[in-house]
A = this chain, B = another copy of it.
Amino acid sequence: MTTKRKTKIVMAQSHSEFLTDTGVDIKQYFKHKSALIDQWLDQLMPGEDDSPAIIHQAMRYSLFAGGKRLRPVLAIATGEIFGADQNELIPAACSLEMIHTYSLIHDDLPAMDNDDLRRGMPTCHVKFGEAMAILAGDALLTQAFVTLADYQTQKPEIKNRVISEIAHAAATTRALIGGQVLDIQFEGKPVTGPQLEEIHRAKTGALIRCAVRIGAIIGGADPAELDAVTIYGEKAGLAFQVADDLLDETATSAELGKTAGKDAASHKATYTSLYGIDGAKDMADRLCREAITAIAATGRQTSVLEEIARFIVERRS
């Protein structure tokens, strides 16, 4: 299937346009980039009327449910630092959001976390039934690789490398699916700090780490720069999860768009249950600082990534 663009795409704006006297306007940056990502996603996905329509409706229902687009924004922000070609960067970034969405749909299934609500809306299986939700997840994962395989490039070796990075991050060992397996295996059992970190490095961390790495790879970062970006991604990925656990304790259900306090109610190990609210806050702040130090050491214009690290730990949803 060839994906034709039916609408004009939001023009990409560079980093510098979001710099103000007091630094980067990160809210405006996210607003602009997520609009750009949404327009690309719309074009990269089969249409709602394409046969069989129901599966495309289910895929789009979850993909356009109001996610923050953190992973593609991270990929784009990192790619921009290294001058990546936007026409390669954005589809690759979008493929990460497809994979993230598939993982949420499958995690929410009755056989897994059995969640009815996600981002304030009925989950995919509640809306479309269990069979269609399983297939919509499968199809989003597959569409991510259709997207990666089909974007135009003058550098097929780089594209092969990007596909490899993403496939590994979505796989089992120290990766997305493996993290969900560990999460299931540890449910209701006492978990140590290192075990909790192992779960989240895989379940949440691998795709965030991958996002910044593919941005750097598409932009042609050198090995030392790629190392710095990788450390940033690993720290930011863990900080994201610690902040998530803090939000689950301190935010309201309305702010979260899902049931707050669910982890505590189900006696699931979290950073707050292990270290307390203050301990978790300190940890998130430390990880944020370490991420910023790592990326700033590249000597590039990294203010957007620095602000994203702060946003990750300070957000309210």
Contacts and interface: CB of A to CB of B under 8 A. Distances in A.
Interface of A: 1, 46, 50-52, 54-56, 59, 102, 106, 109, 111-112, 129-132, 134-135, 137-139, 141-143, 145-146, 148-150, 156-157, 159-160, 163-164, 167-168, 170-174, 177-178, 180-182, 184-185
Contacts of A130: 111
Nearest to A163: B149
A56 to B, nearest CB: 7
A52 B132 contact: no
A179 to B, nearest CB: 9
Contact of A164 (B106, B146, B167, B172): B146
A174 B50 CA distance: 10
Contacts of A178: 51-52, 55
A139 B46 contact: no
Contact of A184 (B131, B150, B170): B131
Contacts of A139: 171-172, 177
A177 B55 contact: yes
A156 B160 contact: yes
Contacts of A172: 46, 50, 52, 55-56, 59, 139, 142-143
Contact of A131 (B112, B129, B143, B159): B112
Majority SS at the chain A contact face: helix
What is the copy number of this chain in the assembly? Answer: 2
Given A1-B171, A156-B156, A156-B160, A135 B181 contact: yes
Contacts of A109: 131, 134
A54 B160 CA distance: 29
Contacts of A46: 171-173
A181 B112 contact: no
Given A142-B171, A145-B145, A164 B185 contact: no
Contact of A106 (B134, B143, B185): B134
B138 A111 contact: no
Contacts of A163: 145, 148-149, 163
15 contacts: A46-B172, A52-B173, A52-B185, A54-B181, A56-B172, A111-B129, A111-B130, A132-B181, A132-B184, A134-B134, A135-B181, A142-B167, A143-B172, A145-B145, A148-B167
Given A106-B135, A156-B157, 6 more contacts: A55-B177, A106-B138, A142-B172, A142-B177, A143-B172, A160-B160
Contacts of A50: 172-173
Q: Which 9 A-B pairs have the closest CB atoms?
A: A149-B164, A156-B156, A111-B130, A145-B167, A146-B167, A149-B163, A52-B181, A111-B131, A55-B181
Nearest to A173: B1
A178 B50 CA distance: 10
Contacts of A59: 172
Contacts of A164: 146, 149-150
A143 B160 contact: no
A138 to B, nearest CB: 6
A52 B173 CA distance: 7
